[in-house]
Structure 1
């Protein structure tokens, strides 16, 4: 009797040990399962049937179900070569964005194995007309979710061509506010942060530091002017003051020639010599053509921010918060380089699709689209909080990283900047400010 009484205890202990070992092995085999866990709704599922008779038959039926296949299309517009950045360290990778989408597909398939779902990525490169033609064929074949890395006008043309089709577009390539405002489209969601979100994120940090007096320098390009306007709006919104506006007419012909640094070393201090006193220099250089000339070359010793020095972005290649370390390692193992912000934005888009498929337990496009665009949708994105889409303009609300080229410095929204519903909506255009008419208010 004594032996009989002890045997169940040993059996239960061994069962518990095996269960714990299985959980550990699962996290080792599938590191994506250990990613940043943000609070999110748990799907309601019926209670499991009893393990006798009908349950065995149901399990056999489930295992024989056809695997649900979901295809995501990445469309990348060819950019002209004259838009190369100033620094050789910032040369774009041929697979910028695409690499992030590939990691997202791998993460989706990790979860999909347990739900009988399969995800794949198709890629198209070319000019906008070629992309429209190719995407039309792909959508007809079932590629209903599209990640777009395109210029603003090309994106609008592309979105209008996809109107009425079973297609949902994720903008990963353009920060233009007009795409979220007067030129918004109902079939476009924005995983790339808007220009106003980026300037608001930086403005909050500078105001928190009490660096409220800004000298604003912009370039002659139209995008530089739009960026400068966004900084003016952010300054007014958060109580900073732009003491002076200056336009820098960059002369970059000798920047890569021997002795070019000598020209710049004299040019920048002279340009700023007669400027009004300021706390921080804000450089608005949308194409990264001259901003990096300014740090350590100003007339007076002042920090530089904006497009160089201290910057705002959706991701930082040295971010380690919220499980970011293993996320960065997985990307580097897959792509043999560091993750750029556009890689992160594209990864988010693929995870949005994967999360919708997981929650809906379906590959039906309309069901997934409705859920993604509903107020109930959330997705964890290594940001410490669940991210979601604004119902008034389709913009992803998310924290943004403030950092130098080497390290993150802070995360916005900053402490003390409050909002009646979500502090994330302190970044960018809030619902009362929107000019977007395509979304239901």
Structure 2
């Protein structure tokens, strides 16, 4: 008799578990706008076709690994729009099936999607655009950022330069809009931390630097005033590789080349990072890049929110994500959380070379009343974002 009772109980439990699994399904759309890459001097670093998408897929797998014990499952719907294609139509299609969307597009296209009527109650994650304006005056209530802003990267670099007592800086910037945006962030950050940019040059060469760098770069940098470090703003990976060891003055380079502030790098190995990287290599067959990390983090944010709340309602998940209780383990040594005033994910910024981590920001000694992570990027008192004010 007891055996029959136990069997019936186990059968009922199994039925309830299956029902729970059928109830908690979180679907996420991944929308990528393909672009024609600008011409660069070297093709040594091709952009992976699945850049970003592989990070989201790893995040889905990580969510699924823990979610199966709770009856949670995750669906990822990937859509790529050809250059010049109808991004808004693709966004509407994805939003019709899910209020959760990861975007890999330009800053202007991200704003266009966020402003769609169909997107007003959605949670959109920017995994590609570092422009600070998206976290500042042009922020949106439904837009969150898992990629560090240009301001965060620049502040991280300036903290390290201050720690190393490099106070005089020179700047070489490219002509691409992304180069100019990063150059602006570097100027702002230098002023913020009391460092001096003694001189600037704009890169306008169209010659083949693979043959001429040793002759052209010394002449190009000869007129720069005395400096300790040469900053490079070359976000398209065009000319920066030819600057190091060719400057008129023997100086280290940093910024887009040399010592680089990043969201992620294969050389980050502490805090379980090596295990994250190995899982990614197994999935994608290559190293994890910045956009991969940002897309992975977006998926994990949603997974963590569902795990803690048990809800797939976007309003409940948004409230939890912005609450003090939310934390994400990002394999960078500190719990990561969202800034409630602009939707930016707080996170440490590694400063890396091709082969090693130099330092990680925030650097010890840079204090903050809320979180040392808020010493990187737009802080609450200086924020012009009003969309997150309830």
Short-chain TM bin: over 0.9
- Please report how far the alpha carbon of residue 55 of structure 1 lies from its aligned counterpart in structure 2 after TM superposition: 8.1
- Please report how far the alpha carbon of residue 135 of structure 1 lies from its aligned counterpart in structure 2 after TM superposition: 2.4
What CA distance in whole angstroms lies between the structure 1 residues aligned with 2:157 and 2:166? Answer: 11
Partner of 1:287: 236
**Change over 3 Å in CA distance of 1:128–1:428 after alignment to 2:** farther
Larger radius of gyration: 1
Q: Would the aligned equivalents of 1:219 and 1:250 in 2 still touch at CA under 8 Å?
A: no
* Aligned match for 1:146, one of 81, 91, 101: 101
Name the SS for the 1:233 alignment partner.
Answer: helix
- Please report how far the alpha carbon of residue 244 of structure 1 lies from its aligned counterpart in structure 2 after TM superposition: 1.1
Partner of 1:328: 277
- Please report how far the alpha carbon of residue 364 of structure 1 lies from its aligned counterpart in structure 2 after TM superposition: 2.6
What CA distance in whole angstroms lies between the structure 2 residues aligned with 1:341 and 1:216? Answer: 24
* Aligned match for 1:216, one of 171, 192, 197: 171
Partner of 1:92: 47
Asked if 1:63 is matched to 2:12, the reply is no
Partner of 1:416: 365
What CA distance in whole angstroms lies between the structure 1 residues aligned with 2:126 and 2:10? Answer: 45
Asked if 1:114 is matched to 2:63, the reply is no
What CA distance in whole angstroms lies between the structure 2 residues aligned with 1:65 and 1:57? Answer: 12
- Please report how far the alpha carbon of residue 362 of structure 1 lies from its aligned counterpart in structure 2 after TM superposition: 2.4
List runs of 5+ in structure 2 lacking aligned partners: none
**Change over 3 Å in CA distance of 1:369–1:54 after alignment to 2:** farther
* Aligned match for 2:380, one of 431, 434, 438: 431
What CA distance in whole angstroms lies between the structure 1 residues aligned with 2:79 and 2:349? Answer: 29
Partner of 1:264: 213
List runs of 5+ in structure 1 lacking aligned partners: 1-50
Report how many aligned residue pairs link the two structures. Answer: 383
Name the SS for the 1:251 alignment partner.
Answer: coil
- Please report how far the alpha carbon of residue 185 of structure 1 lies from its aligned counterpart in structure 2 after TM superposition: 0.6
Matching of residues 34-53 of structure 1 within 5 Å: none
Q: Would the aligned equivalents of 1:149 and 1:173 in 2 still touch at CA under 8 Å?
A: yes
Partner of 2:331: 382
Asked if 1:169 is matched to 2:124, the reply is yes
Deviates more, 1:131-140 or 1:342-351: 131-140
What CA distance in whole angstroms lies between the structure 1 residues aligned with 2:68 and 2:165? Answer: 51
Q: After superposition, what is the alpha-carbon deviation per residue over 1:192-251, rounded to whole angstroms, capped at 9, x for unaligned?
A: 100000000011001100011001111233332222221111111112111112222122
Calculate the aligned-residue CA RMSD, in Å.
2.1
Name the SS for the 1:382 alignment partner.
Answer: coil
TM-score between the two structures when normalised by the length of structure 2? 0.93
Matching of residues 236-385 of structure 1 within 5 Å: 236-252=191-207, 254-255=208-209, 260-261=210-211, 263-385=212-334
Partner of 1:404: 353
**Change over 3 Å in CA distance of 1:86–1:370 after alignment to 2:** farther
What CA distance in whole angstroms lies between the structure 2 residues aligned with 1:310 and 1:328? Answer: 21
What CA distance in whole angstroms lies between the structure 2 residues aligned with 1:294 and 1:138? Answer: 44
* Aligned match for 1:74, one of 25, 30, 34: 30
